[in-house]
Amino acid sequence: DAGVIQSPRHEVTEMGQEVTLRCKPISGHDYLFWYRQTMMRGLELLIYFNNNVPIDDSGMPEDRFSAKMPNASFSTLKIQPSEPRDSAVYFCASSSLLGVNTDTQYFGPGTRLTVL
Amino acid sequence: AQSVAQPEDQVNVAEGNPLTVKCTYSVSGNPYLFWYVQYPNRGLQFLLKYITGDNLVKGSYGFEAEFNKSQTSFHLKKPSALVSDSALYFCAVRAVGNTPLVFGKGTRLSVIA
């Protein structure tokens, strides 16, 4: 299995631009999570989906952030417009209630976002 | 609401010595506890978890963790540290059901040759 795939790995953009981060979960996993990691706040959950449906988006910082999961194998996190304080590493993780490693979240390599 | 505390920002240990990275938690009901490791510029890698059963859980790379319900702790241990174990370690907890993990702030482990 290829694991959780995220793209791009690095993104540098200017303030005000739209940024789209992408995630492909592990095949067969029905939960998908978006986290953000910063030095100041550590790892924090932004939103998570179950069977492509958003379950809890209370961690999304503001309306500039949106996330979608149009199908079981793809999710996007969009920031529009981006601001310097959005600079962070964004992780996607997936998990399943079935199988050998049920309950375990597997993380992608992350997208390092820098907003100038 | 659940929470995790990792009281040490940094742990230094000599290669070959035993290591312990501390974690305490708070959760309603039975806890699901996890340890992850993060190497520089990499994602989080799953090390081990406690769901139920034996209080001593064995995981990847020779790591183990001991669940202590009375002390609400889940300390990560390894009998003999390697330089390659140097990384950032995260403890995480969640309640029953496939709900999101709540992470501690992380502990940076430095193993010195």
A60, A90, A116 from A84: Cα distances, Å: 16, 14, 6
The residue with greater pLDDT, B65 or A101, is B65
For the segment A36-45, what is each residue's pLDDT rounded down to a tens digit? 999 898 999 9
For the segment A35-69, what is each residue's pLDDT rounded down to a tens digit? 999 989 899 999 999 999 999 999 998 899 999 99
Minimal Cα distance from B88: which residue of A? A42
Write down the pLDDT at residue A64.
95
Confidence of residue A114 (pLDDT cuts 50, 70, 90): very high
Segment-wise mean pLDDT, segments of 10 residues, chain B, 113 residues: 93 97 92 94 91 91 95 97 96 81 94 95
Nearest to B70 by CA among B17, B105, B18, B31: B31
Strands (E) across chain A are located at 5-7, 10-13, 19-24, 31-38, 42-50, 53-56, 65-71, 74-79, 88-95, 106-107, 111-115
β-bridge mates for residue A40, sequence order? none
Which residues 30-49 of A have a C-beta within 8 angstroms of B? 31, 33, 42-43, 45, 48
DSSP secondary structure string for all residues of B8-37: -SEEEEETTS-EEE--EEE-SSS-EEEEEE
Task: Count CA atoms closer than 13 A to B107's CA, side-chain side.
Answer: 26
Write down the pLDDT at residue B41.
82
β-bridge mates for residue A7, sequence order? A22
At position B16, the amino acid (one-letter code) is G
Write down the pLDDT at residue A62.
85
Pairing between strand B10-14 and B107-112? parallel
The proportion of chain A whose per-residue pLDDT surpasses 90, expressed as a percent, equals 84
Q: Does A81 touch chain B (CB under 8 A)?
A: no
Write down the pLDDT at residue A76.
98
